[in-house]
Structure 1
């Protein structure tokens, strides 16, 4: 019964994540509610199996249809991979409670800013180049990668706003780059947590199938309807993330 429930949760997470990021909103609370007595590192490690599979599928679909700007995406991928591994290692040593309490406030600022800038992400007009572009990508990828390794919910949303706000991408191009960076963070965290024995592989593979099916549908919808559709889903996902993370941190 728990496996069927988590398959459905992974499907919905894959669909949401492929469009606008934030699949952890569904997947992580679902697995924690299904197995509350299991170690947090093991539960998060298991979700990384599903997230990696779904994100890989979405990344391939986007790469076939949307131009990838490697000047920013490449350095962000490299930094995110290394720092996600560091974050996952930290997860095995310390609790992530301070991040859990801070997250809803950070997401609220992100939502207010996006709502206030109605033209944000509507047009694709890259603003950085050369060394400055690489350094911003390295710093942003490092910070978000570490966060994904140690905790995770909202990573896709943070990456989306990074590519839209800092690099001037529209939401569709930002989604394409986000998938590649998020794939790197998932692979790195999974490698570290798997090596440490914090992955329940049987459950992870069941969830991976659901996540891939969801990501197929989600990426197809995003490519069909374009940046305005992605922006709307992004706002809905961030709003839901604020409510869910605030409840978890201060009430649940």
Structure 2
């Protein structure tokens, strides 16, 4: 399909902002998917094209965290493998199953995430705190299930990974965010692979948006290391609540309009 230069430029700008936000708190898809749909892209192709462009952004942030030593891949190999498998299965299943039931659960998950960050007295674990799950259990349970969710639908994946790393892995926010981006990139690549086999991504559009997403994600990763918890905590709360409200409105707008 033909896309004008003006629309393309706007989508690149949206991808840049989304990459910046996604690197810090997740939720970039809240901006890019509606923008793609508004540009007239069919839903399945919009999801696949978004995975294409967001893969570059998540790679940019992941590589920055790896290069600065914030995260070491050798400590995450099992989580990476389980996340990849889970996301691949999710991307395959979503092409054959209606997602209505799961879509109704997402706002509840997002509200729970924002409530955790909002009301938790401290989200910086004590040095003596022990992880509530072993590395292997975290990889299979969290990596596999959240990876599946990202391949199947995706909204709020970054926030879910972050809260799991903080609450179950007992990582600080910066370390949790860095590990989140590595697993987010993993799930993006796995889902994208299956979407490519299905012939869904719009390559020219996705790669053009990827330029903006890559730049935005690199800027966001730098802010994480510079500002840390001061920026991440309120942004996770804001993005999680915004996504929850948006999804609830989309699901129940007719009912709400009938009341008000």
TM above 0.5: yes
1:8-40 per-position Cα deviation (integer Å, ceiling 9, x unaligned): 21111100011111111111122122225x1x2
Q: 1:141 to 1:126 in 2, by over 3 A?
A: farther
The equivalent residue for 2:99 is 96
How far residue 66 of structure 1 moved from its aligned partner, in angstroms, is 4.2
2:118 aligned to which of 112, 115, 118: 115
The equivalent residue for 1:62 is 65
Q: 1:151 to 1:55 in 2, by over 3 A?
A: same
How far residue 71 of structure 1 moved from its aligned partner, in angstroms, is 7.6
Q: C-alpha separation between the residues in 2 aligned to 1:127 and 1:7?
A: 43
Unpaired segments ≥5 residues, structure 2: 1-5, 255-260
Q: 1:66 to 1:21 in 2, by over 3 A?
A: farther
Equivalent runs, 1:39-188 vs 2, <5 Å: 40-68=43-71, 73-121=76-124, 127-128=130-131, 132-188=134-190
Per mean C-alpha deviation after superposition, the further-off stretch among 190-199 and 239-248 is: 239-248
1:13 aligned to which of 18, 28, 35: 18
The alignment yields a C-alpha RMSD, in angstroms, of: 2.0
How far residue 153 of structure 1 moved from its aligned partner, in angstroms, is 1.1
Contact 1:126-1:167 within 8 A present in 2 as well: no
Q: C-alpha separation between the residues in 2 aligned to 1:17 and 1:165?
A: 20
Q: Secondary structure at the match of 1:26?
A: helix
Q: TM-score, normalised by structure 2?
A: 0.89
Q: C-alpha separation between the residues in 2 aligned to 1:30 and 1:125?
A: 45
1:193 aligned to which of 178, 195, 203: 195
Q: C-alpha separation between the residues in 2 aligned to 1:144 and 1:94?
A: 18
Q: C-alpha separation between the residues in 2 aligned to 1:22 and 1:169?
A: 21
Per mean C-alpha deviation after superposition, the further-off stretch among 174-183 and 96-105 is: 96-105
How far residue 109 of structure 1 moved from its aligned partner, in angstroms, is 1.6
Aligned length: 249
The equivalent residue for 1:218 is 220
2:28 aligned to which of 13, 23, 30: 23
Per mean C-alpha deviation after superposition, the further-off stretch among 131-140 and 143-152 is: 131-140
Q: C-alpha separation between the residues in 2 aligned to 1:182 and 1:27?
A: 16
Q: C-alpha separation between the residues in 2 aligned to 1:132 and 1:33?
A: 44
Q: Secondary structure at the match of 2:46?
A: helix
Unpaired segments ≥5 residues, structure 1: none
